[in-house]
């Protein structure tokens, strides 16, 4: 699933490539992807894109009309959604890559981009709204570790009295915005904390370490992705991960074998020596 470092770079790429251009056509090929009824995708035609920003793991494509009113396209990528950029948008509506074409947006200079979904269950969703906060998932977003409001005190405040397992809490978008399965594994490994520890039972020292690791892991990944085109972001991310999806490899810190376990139905990885005092998770 796309997480904040890659989505941040995607938003930067789209801002650089679309700002100031007019929307010429919008085709939504899978109607269920569109979660709002009004306004319609056709209402975007003739509007100018004024920027693309990141909201947690989502992007906000902001447009303005000649009258000055703004309309936002909020895209949630789900598990396997992404963007395919075209310097020259293909004619017709054939898909241009492996993934299913969910929607294609054409711009006034002939360029354009596809919203795609490579998963079995098509989970990419699109909201057209006057304000981003009209989308419930945006209104409920928690603290963003890449944002200015993030500090150790704010982080600790969210963990206090939470009996949830720390890996689940890090991935809960209403607690922390932008973290998923991959970066929660990386953050917990960097902080040397077991993923199944309850948040409220972490020591003050562990909470401080985890706050630092959360900010550092995401900030370093974001900076490392800068300038990487959307088509290469996924591979670049996977190549840079230290524990996530590295089952059987040697831990880069202690050389113990990275282990895998199932967390909320997904495969997750950890280092027993660094994180669980040698214990293996079921
Ligand atoms: Zn280790």
pLDDT by residue (tens digit) across 116-164? 999 999 999 999 999 999 999 999 999 999 999 999 999 999 999 899 9
Distance 275 CA to ligand 1 centre (A): 7
Whole-number Å distance, alpha carbon 211 to ligand 1 midpoint, is 19
Q: CA–CA separation, 276 vs 281, rounded Å?
A: 8
Distance in Å, CA 255 to ligand 1 centroid: 6
Going from the Cα of 254 to the center of ligand 1, the distance in angstroms, rounded, reads 4
Please report, rounded to a whole number, the percentage of residues in the chain having pLDDT higher than 70. 100
Distance in Å, CA 268 to ligand 1 centroid: 15
CA of 7 to the centre of ligand 1 (A): 28
Residue 117: closest CA among 263, 281, 2, 278: 2
* Ligand 1 mean position, distance from CA 264 (Å): 23
Paired tokens of 178: 């932008």
User: Within 10 Å of residue 211's Cβ, how many Cβ atoms?
Assistant: 22
> What is the pLDDT confidence band of residue 96, given thresholds at 50, 70 and 90?
confident
Evaluate if pTM is beyond 0.95.
yes
């Amino acid at each position: 699933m796309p997480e904040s470092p890659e989505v941040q770079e995607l938003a930067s790429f789209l801002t650089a490539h679309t700002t100031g251009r007019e929307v010429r056509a919008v085709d939504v090929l899978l109607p269920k992807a569109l979660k709002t009824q009004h306004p319609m995708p056709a209402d975007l035609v003739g509007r100018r894109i004024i920027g693309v920003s990141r909201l947690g793991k989502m992007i906000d494509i902001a447009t303005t009309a000649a009258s000055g009113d703004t309309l936002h396209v909020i895209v949630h990528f789900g598990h396997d959604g992404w963007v395919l950029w075209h310097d020259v948008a293909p004619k017709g509506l054939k898909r241009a890559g492996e993934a299913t074409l969910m929607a294609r947006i054409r711009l006034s200079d002939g360029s354009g981009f596809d919203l795609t979904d490579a998963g079995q269950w098509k989970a990419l969703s699109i909201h057209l709204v006057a304000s981003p906060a009209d989308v419930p998932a945006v209104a409920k977003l928690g603290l963003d570790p890449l944002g200015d409001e993030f500090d150790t005190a704010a982080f600790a405040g969210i963990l206090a009295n939470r009996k949830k397992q720390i890996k689940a809490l890090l991935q809960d978008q209403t607690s922390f915005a932008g973290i998923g399965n991959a970066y929660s594994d990386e953050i917990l490994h960097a902080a040397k904390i077991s993923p199944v520890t309850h948040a409220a039972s972490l020591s003050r020292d562990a909470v401080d370490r985890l706050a630092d690791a959360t900010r550092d892991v995401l900030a370093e990944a974001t900076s490392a992705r800068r300038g990487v085109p959307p088509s290469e972001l996924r591979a670049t991310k996977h190549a840079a991960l230290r524990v996530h999806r590295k089952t059987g490899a040697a831990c880069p810190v202690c050389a113990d074998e990275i282990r895998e376990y199932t967390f909320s139905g997904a495969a997750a990885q950890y280092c027993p020596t660094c994180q669980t005092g040698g214990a293996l998770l079921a």
